Structure formats: C-alpha cells, structure tokens
C-alpha cells in the first residue's frame, strides 16, 4: 500500500495507512446513562415501567453489546437489575419492544432533551431509514424496531 499513488500530491503517508488499518475495540460504557438517572428525580425501568431504585439498577444495551457494540444514547436503557440479568445478551423480541414502547419513549426525552443533537445524530447515523435531520423520538423507535429485526435475521441471537 505504501507505493500506491506515491506520486500524487496528496498521497497518504505510512502513518495514514497504519491508522486506517487499526482495529477499534469499543469499550462497554453506561456512565452517561448512570449520570442522567442519578440527576433525575424519578426514573422508570424501560422494560417494566416500574420505578427504579437508584441504589440498585442496571443500564441495559437494548441490542446486546457483545454482539453489536454500541454505546449510543438511544441503545442504553435504565432497567431493574433482575430484568437486566434475565435479559443478559439476548435480543428483545419485537413483541417485547412494542410492549415497552411507551416506557422507552418516556425515557428518551426525559433523559436526552438537553442533549437532543447528540441523541438524534447518533440514532440517525446508526439506525435505518432515518433522515440526517430527524428529531422525532417515534421515528427513532420505529427504526430501532427495524434494526432489531435485521440483527435477529443476520445474527440469530436468542430472543428475550
């Protein structure tokens, strides 16, 4: 690769090629959600709708991080610890997503209205069928559901 296009005025350096070939290993992170939950007065579990105990809750990656490493704000949901342990690295069924729709659509604006630009930028780039200027939480939920079906079809994850 070093010799490719060497004579071009804007040719890449060895370092450019080296950096482009680096494998990124994303770290699992739920810090931002924990900070928001701690700052808010009352937060409900996104899977059950029950009020969270702020001394004992979990942050779930809706799409399991082990199979789809993504720490975007839309993918991180506060949950009861027991529910998160039960879900583990399983993919929520379409039915479970639909049953939890109201809880998720309550959480997103509650948590991220002050960070809408970041929330929607992440969602619009990562999820299908969203326009770059989308700012509608319902549209993000619909795209989340479509992406769930794609992940299920491609990776054949266990259902939860």
pTM of the model: 0.82
Cα–Cα distance, 73 to 61 (Å, whole number): 10
112: containing domain: 25-155
Please write the tens of the pLDDT for every residue from 102-141.
999 999 999 999 999 999 999 999 999 999 999 999 999 9
Is residue 62 in a domain? yes
Is residue 56 in a domain? yes
Nearest to 35 by CA among 111, 103, 94, 87: 111
Contact assessment for residue 52 and residue 80, using Cβ atoms and an 8 Å cutoff:
yes
Is residue 57 in a domain? yes
Is residue 1 in a domain? no
Cα–Cα distance, 70 to 62 (Å, whole number): 10
Q: How many domains does the chain have?
A: 1
């Amino acid at each position: 690769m070093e010799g490719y296009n060497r004579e071009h005025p804007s040719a890449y350096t060895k370092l450019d090629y080296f950096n482009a070939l680096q494998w990124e290993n994303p770290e699992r992170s739920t810090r931002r959600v924990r900070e928001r939950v701690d700052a808010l007065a009352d937060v409900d579990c996104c899977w059950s709708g029950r009020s969270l105990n702020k001394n004992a809750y979990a942050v779930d990656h809706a799409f399991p991080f082990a199979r789809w490493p993504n720490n975007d704000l839309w993918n991180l949901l506060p949950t009861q610890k027991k529910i998160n342990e039960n879900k583990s690295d399983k993919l929520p069924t379409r039915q479970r997503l639909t049953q939890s729709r109201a809880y998720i659509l309550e959480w997103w604006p509650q948590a991220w209205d002050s960070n809408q630009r970041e929330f929607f930028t992440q969602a619009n780039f990562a999820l299908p069928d969203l326009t770059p200027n989308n700012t509608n939480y319902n549209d993000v939920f619909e795209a989340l559901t479509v992406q769930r079906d794609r992940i299920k079809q491609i990776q054949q994850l266990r259902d939860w």
